[in-house]
Amino acid sequence: MNSRFQEERRQPPYYLLTGLLLGLALGFVLTMVILPVQYSNVPPETLNPTDKDRYRLMIAMAFQANQDLGRASARLGLLRDDDIAGQLIQQSRRSQTKSDAQVLLNLAQVIQNPLAQPIVSSQFTNESPANEQESSTSSPTETILPTESIEVSQATAITPQPTRQQSTAIVQNSPTPNFSADLPFQLIENEIICNTSYSESLIQVEVFDSDGEPIPNARITVTWSTGQDTFFTGFYPEISLGYADFTMTAGTIYSVKVGNIGEMVTDLTASECSDDPENTFLGSIYLRFDAP
């Protein structure tokens, strides 16, 4: 009897392990499902990247309405970004719609140059069509080259965009210095953009002067083995006065130059992007040229 009793007492206490596992499972359910931890009054710098983008967009929309640069700068300062304007510009390139990209770029340009007049497109104003027509015809229109490629995104079909005459009027009335074709523009940034919201594969070009201001009417030349196209910046002020784009064809190699003596960027082609193993698409290319 004593031998069997001693053998029974030597068995491990499995019931303790079972109780521990049940306690851990119950604690997990309580903390994650029934009574999850709720954070409040946390600083914006602790937000995840997605929420930081939403925070910047809300501030940019508020600035679009009240034009209070001091309040917008103070709110953006809570994110502790090293380059506030640069973060706004980077987010504008990731934006799903042109309207979001515009308000972000407007705020970035005003932060970079507080004395510059922010650009407001017709979709954010309350002008009547008669007033828009009067403003567009008050200045001479610009001759549009037949080879110029004009890209229309899905956002254009949703929100009204300025016409070519309206865009020209905005460019002529802007404080941005006039373009000189003899400036030796240099490539500052060359980036592949993988954005599923783009309906086409684009060469996106932005041209800036030595002070970092966008330059309208800058001539851009794109060449490939079987042709050449020339177009100008400034026709998309809702994005940037120094912006222009060109649609690429898969498998074609392109070269891009700004002005007469600017740096020639070669071997540009549409790269393949993928957001998951089963979905591939052609990406775009972003090029930034600065004047010395």
Residue 142 lies in a domain: no
Residue 28 lies in a domain: no
DSSP string covering 23-59, please?
HHHHHHHIIIIIS-----S--GGGS-HHHHHHHHHHH
Q: Once rounded to an integer, what is the mean pLDDT over residues 189-195? A: 90
- Phi/psi for 29 (5° steps) reads -65, -40
pLDDT for 180 equals 58
Domain extent at residue 56? 33-124+152-161
Q: Which residues pair with 228 in a beta bridge?
A: 223
> How far, in Å, CA of 243 to CA of 7, rounded?
84
Q: What is the CATH number of the domain that holds 253?
A: 2.60.40.10
| pLDDT tops 60 at residue 219 | yes
> Residue 231 gets which letter from DSSP?
E
Task: Single out the residue of 158, 164, 154 nearest to residue 200, CA to CA.
Answer: 154
Residue 27 lies in a domain: no
Looking at the fold, whether 157 and 206 belong to one and the same domain comes out as no
Task: Single out the residue of 139, 135, 206, 212 nearest to residue 176, CA to CA.
Answer: 212
Please, what is the average pLDDT of the chain? 76
Residue 218 lies in a domain: yes
Taking phi over 0 as left and psi of -120 to 50 as alpha, with beta for the rest, 4 belongs to alpha
End position of a domain, from candidates 141, 161, 181? 161
Residue 13 lies in a domain: no
Looking at the fold, whether 83 and 113 belong to one and the same domain comes out as yes
Range with lowest mean pLDDT among 87-96, 171-180, 211-220: 171-180
pLDDT for 15 equals 77
Residue 140 lies in a domain: no
pLDDT for 113 equals 81
Q: Which two tokens stand for residue 37?
A: 């931890």
Helix axes 49-66, 98-112, angle to 10 degrees: 70
Range with lowest mean pLDDT among 3-7, 88-92, 268-272: 3-7
Question: Do the Cβ atoms of 195 and 97 come closer than 8 Å?
Answer: no
Looking at the fold, whether 84 and 37 belong to one and the same domain comes out as yes
Q: Once rounded to an integer, what is the mean pLDDT over residues 266-283? A: 85
Tally of structural domains, the chain: 2
What are the tens digits of pLDDT across the range 110-160? 888 876 544 444 444 444 444 444 444 444 444 444 444 334 333 333 333
> How far, in Å, CA of 91 to CA of 104, rounded?
8
Is-above-0.85 flag for pTM? no
